[in-house]
Structure 1
Amino acid sequence: MQAVAKPLFSDPIYDGAADPVIVYHKKEKKWFMLYTNRRATNAQAEGVTWVHGTRIGIAESSDGGTTWTYRDTANINYRPVAAYTHWAPDVIEHDGTYHMYLTYVPGIFTDWNHPRHIIHLTSQDLFNWDYQSTLPLVNDKVIDANVFRLPDGTWRLWYNNERDGKSIYYADSKDLYQWQDKGRAIKARGEGPKVFQWKGQYWMIIDAWKGLQVYSSPDLLTWKPQEERLLEEPGQGKDDQAIGGHPDVVVNNGKAYLFYFTHPGRAKANPSPASSVNAKRSVIQLAELQYQNGKLTTDRDKPTYIHLKPGK
């Protein structure tokens, strides 16, 4: 078995892959990665328009996650305005249908001062997506959904409330369609929450912009922060010498794999000019999580071997 390359994946269109989510395609019998495709190579972009106007990229792996190739962009059938932005998909499969919870921004903007909502879409093939609803969450500035099935069979969605100091909020649903907002889950600055179960407890990892902050919970309601952050210190591998951002975690065959993104041009040791293409580009990386003395750790410089078993 070969170790994964660094970087794991670079988008060939805009070189701006970020915010990955990994899901098994049952019909094609492959693992798919859906991701935010920032327009990093747009050198003429004004302000932050390069992170707007994005489509969700799709990559695939036929070897259990070791190598990834670009496949397409998602055909999302929700276009109420001509210019639109798609960010940070979360995708799950339930009873033969794929569900995506996507951050939708109604335009291409030069700054961050505009609405964003989380919408629900469904698909039978991971490529073509039909709009179901806009979730009735706490306000008009919410991003980065993550959905997890609770022990009683219902569902919980965590997200980032940008109007409350970038805190993490949550909502509950019995059927994935009707959602009730429940308020704040964690008062902490961060985004891109990812919840998973591993080693006998629940975990949440959020992007704190200075490494990944880890929380643990016995009940998915009370969250205890871990002192040490993940991926805060630079790695040595290619394009891996900057902090890790907005991850997905895949628990498979007893192991936990951390898919994250980096901005290679923002390495602490040698940062590129902020407005340069090199500072904007981003890539997907992979490291295996370790569990030791009740805490999560990862060594981004250790060779990573992965062979994901097919999803159920």
Structure 2
Amino acid sequence: MSAPLLADPLGGPTDPTVIQHQRTGQWWMFYTQRRPHARGLGVEWVHGSRIGTAVSDDGAAWRYRGVVEGLDPANTPGRHTHWAPEVAWDGNRYHMYLSWIHGVPSAWAGHERHIAHLTSPDLVRWEHHGFLALGSRYVIDAAVATTADGRVRLWYKDEADGSTTHAAVSQDWHTFAVEGQVIGGVPHEGPNVFALDGWQWLIADEWCGQRVYRSDDGVTWSAQGRILDIPGSHAGDRQVGRHADVVVRGKEAVVFYFTHPHWGGSNAVEAQVGALRESTVHRARLWVSEGVLRCDRDVPAASPLSTGRGRP
């Protein structure tokens, strides 16, 4: 069964992304470290967040490592909001695409959101390259992958366009040309893109599970059903799986996601302090059967992710 994977000291790990360290072979998890027990007038508990890290030798047993330093631009003193890190390896260095908000807002609306680009040689030291020009001042939740045409694409949530998924394309991981909306329909967030069984897949968080999309080129997408909408058997994994990341290992994959174990989904949680706001990170198994993405949340707790190195 999918027991919680790590003990975060603040009790608020969300938006996990997992990558294998190219030198050591260890698995590294980066995540938004919310502050569920912070007292404020509004939603400060989801703002002012740092990026937490955890490491694992096998992808099953994780230990907290601390927060990532150096993620703010040099000319912005004070505390700021860091969300939803996307971390990828380009063959030479690591890239982080980080959702960044100035300060610690007490309300959702009225605050610009940007995606910062940083690079690192070792997942520890990060160099800030500024904010991506994506045609909107309200963009969060970046995902990056190489598509069938050999180019790098970035997918992200544009809150100014009904909280839908947009895409941009790049030749160098640094400068992106906006392509526009690629997933419309109902509002959603947290897109994640990966290749499995000859297809490219995109999952997006609709707050009632992850909507699945399939593509043969990573550019145009067709919708399937949902995953992570059915509860797992563990007592802490009974709510929908939120904002996820996928690691592919051969013919199968592992999806890392978070959930609020004590909260059924009512917005009233924003006004409360403590357990209802707490979150936990879990993992589930993914595979493809007859062209459909399948999911099983009840992964044995001690099941290793892999002993090999590199992230496909």
TM-score, scaled to structure 2 = 0.92
Deviation at 1:15, TM superposition (A): 0.8
Deviation at 1:76, TM superposition (A): 2.3
Report the counterpart of residue 235 of structure 2 in structure 1. 238
Q: Aligned partners of 1:27 and 1:197: how far apart in 2? A: 24
Report the counterpart of residue 208 of structure 2 in structure 1. 210
- The 3-state SS of whatever aligns with 1:216 is strand
- The 3-state SS of whatever aligns with 2:300 is coil
| 1:138-167 CA-partner distances (Å, limit 9, x unpaired) | 210000000101234320000000011111
Deviation at 1:29, TM superposition (A): 2.6
| 1:43-86 CA-partner distances (Å, limit 9, x unpaired) | x1321100111110010001x20110001211124241412110
Residues 1:56 and 2:55 are matched in the alignment? no
Residues 1:247 and 2:244 are matched in the alignment? yes
- The 3-state SS of whatever aligns with 2:253 is strand
Question: Is the contact between residue 290 and residue 298 of structure 1 (CA under 8 Å) also seen in structure 2?
Answer: yes
- RMSD of aligned Cα (Å): 1.9
Question: Is the contact between residue 73 and residue 127 of structure 1 (CA under 8 Å) also seen in structure 2?
Answer: no
Runs of 4+ off more than 3 Å:
271-274
Pick the aligned partner of 1:25 from 21, 24, 39: 21
Query: Size of the alignment, in residue pairs?
Result: 304
The AA in structure 1 aligned to 2:78 is A
Question: Is the contact between residue 2 and residue 232 of structure 2 (CA under 8 Å) also seen in structure 1?
Answer: no
Residues 1:35 and 2:31 are matched in the alignment? yes
| 1:13-49 CA-partner distances (Å, limit 9, x unpaired) | x11001011111123331100000001122x132110
Pairwise mapping of residues 105-124 of structure 1 onto structure 2 (< 5 A)?
105-113=101-109, 114-124=111-121
The AA in structure 1 aligned to 2:29 is M
Q: Aligned partners of 1:273 and 1:18: how far apart in 2? A: 15
The AA in structure 1 aligned to 2:100 is Y
Pairwise mapping of residues 55-94 of structure 1 onto structure 2 (< 5 A)?
55-62=50-57, 64-79=58-73, 80-94=76-90
Pick the aligned partner of 2:182 from 167, 185, 208: 185
Pairwise mapping of residues 123-272 of structure 1 onto structure 2 (< 5 A)?
123-188=120-185, 189-226=187-224, 228-267=225-264
The AA in structure 1 aligned to 2:310 is G
| 1:112-145 CA-partner distances (Å, limit 9, x unpaired) | 1110100100111212211112100121000000
Q: Aligned partners of 1:78 and 1:174: how far apart in 2? A: 25
Deviation at 1:303, TM superposition (A): 3.0
- The 3-state SS of whatever aligns with 1:266 is coil
Q: Percent identity of the aligned residues?
A: 40
Consecutive unaligned residues of structure 2, counting only runs of 5 or more, are none
Deviation at 1:200, TM superposition (A): 1.1
The AA in structure 2 aligned to 1:60 is V
Consecutive unaligned residues of structure 1, counting only runs of 5 or more, are none
The AA in structure 2 aligned to 1:142 is V
Q: Aligned partners of 1:219 and 1:152: how far apart in 2? A: 7
The AA in structure 2 aligned to 1:75 is E
| 1:217-240 CA-partner distances (Å, limit 9, x unpaired) | 1111211111x3111132220310
Report the counterpart of residue 289 of structure 1 in structure 2. 286
The AA in structure 1 aligned to 2:192 is K
Question: Is the contact between residue 214 and residue 222 of structure 2 (CA under 8 Å) also seen in structure 1?
Answer: yes
TM-score, scaled to structure 1 = 0.92
- The 3-state SS of whatever aligns with 2:161 is coil
The AA in structure 1 aligned to 2:135 is V
Q: Aligned partners of 2:189 and 2:270: how far apart in 1? A: 25
Q: Aligned partners of 1:265 and 1:297: how far apart in 2? A: 26
Report the counterpart of residue 101 of structure 1 in structure 2. 97
